[in-house]
C-alpha cells in the first residue's frame, strides 16, 4: 500500500509539473506575461521604414492590453528579405517588411508590381486599402504569413553611373540590379537592360566595384543609403510603385489573444498612415539632398516607358486575369 501511495504521489506531482510547464508559456496565454516581438527590415535606421517601425513600437507598447516589447532590427540584421519571409514562416521572426520577395511566396501579389499599374499614390492607396488589397492577401495565412497593412516604399527610379536615361532605348546593355522579383526582371529585360538580381545588402558594394552599372529604388532609399557616392545619374522613371507589405508570422498571430491582435492591427494601421505622410513630406527633401550631393537628375519620356511596358502586362495577363483591369478601373 505504501508503494502504491508513493507511486500515486509521484504521478500526481508529474502531472502538476507538466500542466504548469504547458500553461501560460505562449504569448497571450497570460495577461501579465511580457510579449517580445522581433520586427525586421533591410533598410537604414533613418529610412521611413524604420521611423514607422519605431512609431509602431511606440503605439503598441503604450496601448497594448498586456506588457509587450517590440525589438526592431534594421539594415538586414536578421538577413535579406527572403530570409525575413522564411523566418516569418518558421516563427523565428515575428513581424517584417519584405515587399521585394512577397510575390515569390504569394504569386498573385505580383500584380501590384506591374510597371505603371498605378496612376498615382492616391490610386494605389484606394486599391491597397480596399477590397482588392484584402483579396490579394487573404490566402497568406495558409503559408504561415498574415498581412497587417500596406505601408509604402514609393515610386521607383533608375540611377546609373554613365548617362541619363530618357527612353527605354537608353537602358539597352546597361547592367542593372533589381530585387529577386520576376516582374521586375522581365520589365527591365523587355526594356533592353542586362539584368542581375542580388540581395539589397550587397548592392552598395556592387555599385562601388562596378559589378553593376545601375540600380532602381525610391528616392528615400537612394538618399538614405548614399547611392550618390557610387551613382552619378538619377532618372525619374517612376516605373514601379512599391507597396511595403508589413507581415506578421501566422505562428505569432495565433499565440496572441484577440485583444492583442486588435492592438497589433491598430498600431500597424496608424504607423502606415504616419509612414505614408512621412514619405510624402520627405520626397522633395530627398531630391534636394541627391542634387546637392552631385547627382544629375532628369525627367524621362513617360509615354515611351508606358508604351514599352505593354508587352509585360500581356506576359502576365493570363496569370492575373481581370485583376489588372480591376485595378485600372478603381477611380
Given this model, what pLDDT does residue 272 score? 98
Given a contact cutoff of 8 angstroms between Cβ atoms, the answer to whether 249 and 148 are in contact is no
Percent of the chain with pLDDT over 90: 82
Instruction: For the chain, give the mean pLDDT.
Output: 91
Selected residue with higher pLDDT from 68 and 101: 68
Given a contact cutoff of 8 angstroms between Cβ atoms, the answer to whether 243 and 150 are in contact is yes
Given this model, what pLDDT does residue 21 score? 36
Three-class DSSP labels, 252-321: HHHHCCHHHHHHHHHHHHHHHHHHHHHHHHHHHHHHHHHHHCCCEEECCCHHHHHHHCHHHHHHHHHHHC
The pTM assigned to this predicted structure is: 0.83
Given this model, what pLDDT does residue 199 score? 85
Q: What are 132-164's pLDDT values in tens digits?
A: 999 999 999 999 999 999 999 999 999 999 999
Q: What is the mean pLDDT of residues 210-228?
A: 95
Domains of the chain, earliest start first: 33-329 (3.40.190.170)
Asked whether the CA dihedral 148, 149, 153, 156 is positive or negative, the reply is: positive
Given a contact cutoff of 8 angstroms between Cβ atoms, the answer to whether 93 and 87 are in contact is yes
- 70 in the Ramachandran plot: left (φ > 0), alpha (ψ -120 to 50) or beta? beta
- Tell me how many degrees the CA angle 164-170-174 measures, rounded to the nearest 5: 95
- Tell me how many degrees the CA angle 218-174-171 measures, rounded to the nearest 5: 70
**Least confident segment among 13-27, 172-186, 316-330:** 13-27
d(CA 306, CA 282): 26
Given this model, what pLDDT does residue 17 score? 38
Given this model, what pLDDT does residue 30 score? 61
d(CA 111, CA 91): 27
Given this model, what pLDDT does residue 6 score? 44
Q: What is the mean pLDDT of residues 221-231?
A: 95
Given this model, what pLDDT does residue 131 score? 97
Q: What is the mean pLDDT of residues 180-188?
A: 92
Q: Which three cell numbers stand for residue 237?
A: 522613371
Given this model, what pLDDT does residue 99 score? 87
Q: What is the mean pLDDT of residues 9-20?
A: 39
Q: What are 44-100's pLDDT values in tens digits?
A: 899 999 999 999 999 999 999 999 999 999 999 999 999 999 999 999 999 999 887
Given this model, what pLDDT does residue 181 score? 85
Q: Which three cell numbers stand for residue 46?
A: 533613418
* pLDDT confidence band for 12 (50 / 70 / 90): very low
Selected residue with higher pLDDT from 40 and 101: 40
Q: Which three cell numbers stand for residue 261?
A: 491582435
Distance between alpha carbon 231 and the CA centroid of its chain, in Å?
Answer: 24
Amino acid at each position: 500500500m505504501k508503494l502504491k501511495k508513493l507511486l500515486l504521489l509521484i504521478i500526481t506531482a508529474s502531472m502538476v509539473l507538466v500542466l504548469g510547464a504547458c500553461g501560460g508559456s505562449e504569448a497571450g496565454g497570460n495577461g501579465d506575461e511580457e510579449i517580445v516581438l522581433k520586427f525586421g527590415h533591410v533598410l537604414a535606421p533613418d529610412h521611413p521604414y524604420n521611423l514607422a517601425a519605431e512609431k509602431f513600437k511606440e503605439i503598441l507598447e503604450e496601448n497594448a492590453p498586456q506588457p509587450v516589447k517590440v525589438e526592431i532590427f534594421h539594415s538586414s540584421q536578421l538577413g535579406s528579405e527572403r530570409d525575413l519571409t522564411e523566418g516569418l514562416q518558421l516563427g523565428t521572426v515575428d513581424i517584417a517588411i519584405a515587399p521585394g520577395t512577397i510575390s515569390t511566396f504569394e504569386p498573385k501579389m505580383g500584380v501590384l508590381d506591374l510597371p505603371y499599374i498605378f496612376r498615382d499614390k492616391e490610386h494605389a492607396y484606394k486599391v491597397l486599402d480596399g477590397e482588392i488589397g484584402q483579396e490579394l492577401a487573404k490566402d497568406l495565412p495558409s503559408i504561415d504569413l498574415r498581412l497587417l497593412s500596406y505601408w509604402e516604399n514609393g515610386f521607383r527610379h533608375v540611377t546609373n553611373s554613365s548617362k541619363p536615361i530618357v527612353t527605354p532605348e537608353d537602358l539597352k546593355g546597361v547592367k542593372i540590379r533589381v530585387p529577386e522579383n520576376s516582374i521586375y526582371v522581365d520589365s527591365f529585360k523587355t526594356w533592353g537592360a542586362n539584368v542581375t538580381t542580388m540581395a539589397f545588402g550587397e548592392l552598395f558594394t556592387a555599385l562601388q566595384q562596378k559589378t553593376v552599372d545601375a540600380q532602381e529604388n525610391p528616392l528615400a532609399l537612394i538618399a538614405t543609403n548614399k547611392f550618390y557616392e557610387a551613382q552619378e545619374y538619377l532618372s525619374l522613371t517612376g516605373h514601379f510603385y512599391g507597396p511595403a507589405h508589413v507581415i506578421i508570422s501566422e505562428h505569432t498571430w495565433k499565440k496572441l489573444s484577440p485583444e492583442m491582435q486588435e492592438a497589433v492591427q491598430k498600431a500597424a494601421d496608424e504607423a502606415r498612415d504616419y509612414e505614408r505622410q512621412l514619405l510624402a513630406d520627405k520626397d522633395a527633401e530627398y531630391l534636394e539632398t541627391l542634387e546637392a550631393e552631385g547627382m544629375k537628375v532628369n525627367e524621362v519620356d513617360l509615354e515611351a516607358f508606358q508604351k514599352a511596358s505593354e508587352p509585360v502586362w500581356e506576359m502576365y495577363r493570363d496569370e492575373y486575369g481581370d485583376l489588372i483591369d480591376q485595378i485600372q478601373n478603381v477611380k
